[in-house]
Amino acid sequence: MRKEVKKLIEENTIIQAPMAGVTTPDLVSEVSNQGGIGNIGAGYLDIPSLEQFIDNVESLTDAVYGVNLFVPEKAEVTQEQIDEAKQIFIKNVPNYSDHLPSSFENFNIFNQQVNLILKKSTPIVSFTFGVPNQEIIEQLKQAGKYVIGTATSVEEAIVVENHGCDAVVVQGSEAGGHRGAFIGEDHLIGLMSLIPQVADVVNIPVIASGGIMDKRGFKAAQCLGAATIQLGSAFLMTTESNAHEQHKEVILNSKETDTVITKAFSGKSARGVKNKFIHLYEKNQDVLPYPHQNSLTKNMRKLAAENNDPAFMSLWAGQSVRLSKRQSVKELIAEFKK
Amino acid sequence: MRKEVKKLIEENTIIQAPMAGVTTPDLVSEVSNQGGIGNIGAGYLDIPSLEQFIDNVESLTDAVYGVNLFVPEKAEVTQEQIDEAKQIFIKNVPNYSDHLPSSFENFNIFNQQVNLILKKSTPIVSFTFGVPNQEIIEQLKQAGKYVIGTATSVEEAIVVENHGCDAVVVQGSEAGGHRGAFIGEDHLIGLMSLIPQVADVVNIPVIASGGIMDKRGFKAAQCLGAATIQLGSAFLMTTESNAHEQHKEVILNSKETDTVITKAFSGKSARGVKNKFIHLYEKNQDVLPYPHQNSLTKNMRKLAAENNDPAFMSLWAGQSVRLSKRQSVKELIAEFKK
C-alpha cells in the first residue's frame, strides 16, 4: 500500500486538502476516482462518524485516499477566562448568544482515531497542528500506511522528517483555513520562499499547498522543488464539497485582498474572507486559546449556516480567490491533466 | 530605446531591484554588462548626486539600465507628534539619541528628479510607493523611456497599467525592504497568488519580485505568468553591492523565520531581519508616518553602520535568506543562464 502511494506522489498526483467540515464521502471518493488523492478532514469527527465516513468512501472508490487528523494541543483555561470570553462574545455578537455552550469539552479523541485507522485499510494518514511521536508514526507505517506531516517552516519540515513521516505538506502564507504552525509563532512564509528552502534540506517529497488553483501553480510548485500539490479552496468550490452555498458565493465574489488571518473563530490563526464577525473581534485579542474559542463559536457558526448568514460563518479561503470557479471535481482535475 | 527594453523584458532578462542606499555605479553597470538590467535606487538622491550616479553608470556600461524613484506622499505631522516620537526614541534607544535631527525635512525632490531624467539618456524609469500622473508618464515615454510601476495587489497593478506604464513589478509578501503598497492597507499577497491573478487582468508584462534567489524561482515565476523577475536580496549579497558587511553577514546566517514586517525604521512597512531596534519598537505602534520616522532614525542608522552594530541597522531581506550566498554579480547572473 505504501509503495502504491509513494508512486502516486512521485507521479505528481494532485491531493485534495483535508478540509474538516467541508469534505464528504462524495468529494473524497470522486477525487480519488478521477485520479487525484481524496482526503477525509477527520479532525473533529468522533469514532463512529469517522468509521462511517471511511466505510462510505471505501464503498465509493477502490483508489487511494487519506484521513487527516489534528494532533491535540494542551491549552488550559480557567473558568474566569471562559466567563470573560463569554461576556466579550455576548457583547460582540448578541444575535448569536442564545445558545452558548454550558461547558467547554477539551475535544481529544486523537488516540482513538489513530487506533481506528490502524484497524482500517486507509492508505494515507496525514497530520496537522503538529507531529505525533515516532512510536505512533512507526505503528502506522508498520500497518502499511503512508504518513504525511504538515509544516509552515523549514524547522517544522525537519521535525516532520525526523519523526519518520514519508512526505511533508508545506503550507504557504497564501493558504486558506487553519495555519499548521506548531513551533513558535507563525511566520507566514510565502510558497516562493518556503518550497525551495524546505526542498534543500529534507529528503522526503515536498507537497506544496497555498494559493494554487490551476496548472500554472502546479508547474510553478514543481519548478521550486515540490513533488506535487495539495489544493484546498479549489476543491472547496466544487459541486461535491460540503461548503455552504453562501461560503462558495462569497469566495466567487472576493478579491485577493479580501482574506485576512484571524484567531476569532477558533483561537488558532486561520485565513478566511473578512466578514462582520472577524471585524468585531479585530481589536480584541482576548480570544480563548484553541480549541476553547472553537467551542465558544460553534453554535454561532451552526446557526449562521442555518440562517444563510455569511457575516458569522468561517469563510475560509486562500489568497487566490479570483481564480476560483464553480465546477465538478472531474472538471477541476481534468484541467490539471491538459 | 523603448523597443530595445521591450525586447529585453520579452527575452526574460533578469532585473536588479533598485535598492536605495545599496546600489552603486559598479553594481548597476556590472549587472547590465553581464546581461541583466541594473537599476539605480535613486529614491533618496538629490539632483547633483543622481546626475553624478547616472554619469558614472554610463561611463561604465553602454547597456540598458534604469532609475527608480519614490513617488512622494503627503504626511502631515504636528510638532507635538514629532516631540512625542522623539521622546519614545530617546527612551528606546538611548545610545543613539545624541544626534537626533533638529528639523524634519519633508524630502520631496521628485519633480526635479523626473526633469533630470528627462534630460538624460536613461532607458528605464521605474516608480515605487505609487504611480505618477499620466502626464509625467507620457512625457517620459515621449522622451523614449520605458516606464515601470510597482504593485502589491491586482487593483494596484490595474492602476499602474491604466496610468500608461509599460510593465508592472508585482511585489510578493516574500519581498525584502519597503512594501510598495499604495492603495489601502498592505495585504501581503504571496507571489504564488499574486502573479497569476495580476497576469489574468493586465496586458502589460508582469515582473515578479519577492523571495526569488535562483533559477527555480525564475522558472516558477514564468510558469505563473511573469515575463521576468526582479531580484533584491540576491544582488544585495553580491560583492558589488554597497550593503554593509554586517548586513550581508546577518542575512547569510538567518533563517526564513527571522524576517518580519516593521514600520520602526521609516514609518512605512518593510521586511527585514528582526534585530534589537525592531524588538524595542514592537509593542509601540507610535511611529511617525513616512518619511518622518525615516528622518528620525537616519542618524541612528548612519552611526550604527559606522559602529558595525547590526542591532540598530535596517537589515532589509526577503524570506528566502537561506538561499543567499556571497558571490559576484557575474557569478549570480551566470547561474540564471545555466
State the Cα–Cα distance between residues B137 and B120, nearest whole angstrom: 15
| Top-level class of domain B2-72+108-236+325-337 | alpha beta
B189 touching A (Cβ < 8 Å): yes
**Residue B336 Cα distances to A117, B9, B169, angstroms:** 47, 15, 19
B155–A contact, CB cutoff 8 A: yes
Taking the CA of residue A224 and the nearest CA in chain B, the distance in Å comes to: 5
Q: Based on the number of CB atoms within 10 Å of its own CB, is B51 exposed (0-12), middle (13-18) or buried (19 or more)?
A: middle
The answer, yes or no, to whether residue B208 has pLDDT greater than 80, is: yes
Read off the pLDDT of each residue in B263-289 and give the average, rounded to a whole number: 91
pLDDT, residue B50, reads 97
Task: Note the pLDDT tens digit of each residue in B178-199.
Answer: 999 999 999 999 999 999 999 9
Rounded to the nearest angstrom, the minimum Cα separation between A87 and chain B is: 26
Helix (H) or strand (E) holding B9: helix B2-10
Dig out the grid coordinates for A34 from the structure. Answer: 478521477
Q: What's the Cα-to-Cα distance from A325 to each of A35, A100, B195, rounded to whole Å?
A: 20, 35, 18
pLDDT below 70 — which residues of chain A?
A: 103, 105-107, 284-285
Residue type, A190: G
Domain boundaries, chain B: 2-72+108-236+325-337
A95-100 long-range Cβ contacts below 8 angstroms, 24+ apart: A95/A312, A96/A299, A96/A300, A96/A303, A96/A304, A96/A312, A99/A299, A99/A303, A100/A296, A100/A299
Give the pLDDT of residue A35.
98
Max CA distance (Å), chain A:
57
pLDDT value for B14: 98
Render pLDDT for A296-311 as a digit per residue (tens, 0 to 9).
Answer: 999 999 999 999 999 9
Per-residue model confidence as pLDDT tens digits over B137-181 = 999 999 999 999 999 999 999 999 999 999 999 999 999 999 999
First to last CA, chain A: 28
Checking DSSP bridges between strand A270-273 and strand A177-178, what pairing results, if any?
A: antiparallel
SS3 label, residue B67: strand
Query: Given A155, A189, A320, which is nearest B193 (Cβ)?
Result: A320
Question: What pLDDT shows up at residue B337?
Answer: 87
Which residues of A fall within a CB distance of 8 Å from B231? none
Q: How far apart are CA A47 and CA B29, in angstroms?
A: 66
Spell out which residues of chain A touch residue B192, defining contact as CB-CB under 8 Å.
172, 174, 190-192, 210-212, 217, 220-221, 320
What pLDDT, in 10s, does the model give residues B241-266?
A: 999 999 999 999 999 999 999 999 99
Residues 6+ apart with CB under 8 A from A165: A127, A131, A137, A147, A148, A149, A204
Q: Which of A155, A192, A197 sits opposite B172 (nearest CB)?
A: A192
Q: Nearest-CA residue of chain A relative to B174?
A: A190
Task: Record the pTM.
Answer: 0.97
Contact A323 B197 (CB under 8 A): yes
Q: Over range B307-330, report the average pLDDT.
A: 98
Contact present, A314 and A274 (Cβ < 8 Å): no
Distance separating alpha carbons of residues A329 and B14, to the nearest angstrom: 38
CA distance A35 to B5: 45
CB A30 within 8 A of CB A19: no
* pLDDT tens-digit map of A15-37: 999 999 999 999 999 999 999 99
Alpha-carbon distance of B254 to B272, in angstroms, equals 11
Q: Mean pLDDT highest for which of B77-86, B236-245, B281-290?
A: B236-245
Question: Is B190 in contact with A173 (Cβ distance < 8 A)?
Answer: yes
Residues A190, B200: C-beta atoms closer than 8 Å: no
What's the first-to-final CA gap in chain B, in angstroms? 28
Quickly name the fold that domain A2-72+108-239+323-337 has.
TIM Barrel (3.20.20)
* Residue B210 to residue B232: CA distance in whole angstroms: 8
- For residue A193, the chain B residues in CB contact (below 8 A) are 174, 210-211, 256, 318-320
